[in-house]
Amino acid sequence: MARATQAIINLHALRENYQLAKKCAANSRAYAVIKANAYGHGVLPVANALSAMADGFAVACIEEALELRQGGILLPILVLEGAMDEQECQVALDLDLELVVHQSQQVRWLDNKLGSLRIWIKVDSGMHRLGFAGTEVPALVSELRNMACVSQVQLLSHFACADEVGHPFNEQQLQQIQILSPMKLPWSMSNSAAILSMPEAHGDLVRPGLMLFGASPLSGRAAGDLQLANVMTLQSRVIALHAIGAGESVGYGQAFVAKQDTSIAVVAIGYGDGYPRSARPGTPVVIAGQECPLVGRVSMDMITVDVSRCQVKLGDTATLWGVGLSVDEVAKCCATLSYELFCQLTQRVKFQYLGR
Ligand SMILES: Cc1ncc(COP(=O)(O)O)c(C=O)c1O
């Protein structure tokens, strides 16, 4: 029997989540953000599943856009970090991509090119990661409009604190974009969190990422309460069961020492699959439908779970997150976010797609 570690991806739920983003931002187009291998979910199956309904896609870099075009995706593709060199500008023209420009060198690379690129000027509205200051935008717009390869100029920015509803910095950042509204350019500002909580920030294009994958983008809000449907369920199986006595230890470093007689289930998943080594003792694992606590250290290929209070047998299915166990809750136990848990799954995990 093959190693049982698998991620089951519910593409029907993915489509429902995209529709929810569209419903929240009914007057905006929505490009599904599928960078980093669609947040670890598999970029081509995800893109294909959304192709019939999405307005377009957004990725981080040209390589990711190329993978989509080579996979037969014809919809608009926005490259969020823009070109990394002049050659990539030509690739963007050849592949009919939409490019962000966030620094002046990227503008210079467009000199003397021919074609019809849709350009998004990244405006630094306060995050101070990428982008031009608002005061630089009017001159830049004129310059870009005079270029032979530019067919459209639009504005794009990104929130630093949108996950915290009502954070004063959200309004401050939005104001920085609103100052530019006399230019009457199409604009895009909203990630998942702002789609769900800041209708005034929806603009002409929204950029849903995490919410498509069914995890909550808002701190303190459960995905279910936001009507998000679970997409990924990460599963494996119990490959060994042990009864240990009080005072006996489990795993590397003797990190868990039993206080009383304890039943331990060994599940075939570890940091070699992307299950985080930082998962603290007590992180929930659902085995045969029962929630049980992780004990001891996460190894490369295995974890150990205290199943003393549960009915568990060899071969039972263990859910690490997904249906019946919120990825956001597991992420909290690992001092991280669902974004990172999704992205760090390794190639050893087998992916199975439902609802293609
Ligand atoms: C520029 C940009 N827009 C949109 C998104 C999507 O954000 P989220 O996954 O929080 O919806 C990201 C993700 O990091 C991003 O970098």
Q: What is the CATH number of the domain that holds 84?
A: 3.20.20.10
- DSSP class of residue 229 equals P
- What is the distance in A from the centroid of ligand 1 to the CA of 100? 14
Instruction: Please check whether residues 201 and 72 belong to one and the same domain.
Output: yes
Whether 172 is in a domain gets the answer yes
- Quick count: other Cβ atoms within 10 Å of Cβ 234? 24
Number of domains in the chain: 2
Q: What pLDDT sits at residue 349?
A: 98
Q: By alpha-carbon position, which residue is closest to atom 5 of ligand 1? A: 191
* Single-letter amino acid code for the residue at 274: G
Instruction: Please check whether residues 202 and 236 belong to one and the same domain.
Output: no
Instruction: Please check whether residues 159 and 259 belong to one and the same domain.
Output: no
Residue 182 makes CB contacts below 8 A (sequence gap 6+) with: none
Angle at 156 between CA 97 and CA 20, to 5 degrees: 85
Q: Which range of residues forms the domain containing residue 22?
A: 11-215
- Quick count: other Cβ atoms within 10 Å of Cβ 186? 16
| Dihedral Cα 335, 337, 342, 347, nearest 10 deg | -30
Whether 5 is in a domain gets the answer no
Residue 177 makes CB contacts below 8 A (sequence gap 6+) with: 123, 125, 134, 155, 157, 187, 189, 203
Determine if ligand 1 sits within 6 Å of the CB of residue 40. Answer: no
Structure tokens at 17: 């989540």
C-alpha distances in angstroms, 54 versus 88, 119, 229? 25, 20, 17
Q: Which of 8, 42, 344, 93 is nearest to 50 (CA)?
A: 42
Q: What pLDDT sits at residue 3?
A: 83
Instruction: Please check whether residues 160 and 206 belong to one and the same domain.
Output: yes
Asked if 119 and 109 touch (Cβ cutoff 8 Å), the reply is no
Among 190, 215, 240, the domain-final residue is: 215
Q: How far apart are CA 64 and CA 43, in angstroms?
A: 9
Determine if ligand 1 sits within 6 Å of the CB of residue 36. Answer: no
Q: How far apart are CA 31 and CA 22, in angstroms?
A: 10
* Single-letter amino acid code for the residue at 310: C
Among 148, 183, 215, the domain-final residue is: 215
**Ligand 1 atom having least distance to the Cα of 60:** 16
Instruction: Please check whether residues 168 and 303 belong to one and the same domain.
Output: no
φ/ψ of 161, rounded to 5, equals -130, 25
Q: How far apart are CA 136 and CA 67, in angstroms?
A: 33
Give the DSSP H or E segment for 174: helix 168-178
Instruction: Please check whether residues 173 and 30 belong to one and the same domain.
Output: yes
Q: Count of alpha carbons within 13 Å of 151, Cβ hemisphere only? A: 10
Pairing of strands 284-287, 317-321: antiparallel
- What is the distance in A from the centroid of ligand 1 to the CA of 191? 5
Structure tokens at 31: 């490009």
Q: By alpha-carbon position, which residue is closest to atom 13 of ligand 1? A: 209
pLDDT in tens, the chain (356 residues): 678 899 999 999 999 999 999 999 999 999 999 999 999 999 999 999 999 999 999 999 999 999 999 999 999 999 999 999 999 999 999 999 999 999 999 999 999 999 999 999 999 999 999 999 999 999 999 999 999 999 999 999 999 999 999 999 999 999 999 999 999 999 999 999 999 999 999 999 999 999 999 999 999 999 999 999 999 999 999 999 999 999 999 999 999 999 999 999 999 999 999 999 999 999 999 999 999 999 999 999 999 999 999 999 999 999 999 999 999 999 999 999 999 999 999 999 999 999 98
Among 157, 187, 215, the domain-final residue is: 215
Determine if ligand 1 sits within 6 Å of the CB of residue 28. Answer: no
Instruction: Please check whether residues 239 and 206 belong to one and the same domain.
Output: no
Q: How far apart are CA 276 and CA 329, in angstroms?
A: 13
C-alpha distances in angstroms, 242 versus 155, 264, 267? 59, 5, 12
Determine if ligand 1 sits within 6 Å of the CB of residue 33. Answer: yes
Q: Exposure of 10 by Cβ count < 10 A (0-12 exposed, 13-18 middle, 19+ buried)?
A: buried
Determine if ligand 1 sits within 6 Å of the CB of residue 210. Answer: yes
Whether 107 is in a domain gets the answer yes
Q: What pLDDT sits at residue 2?
A: 79
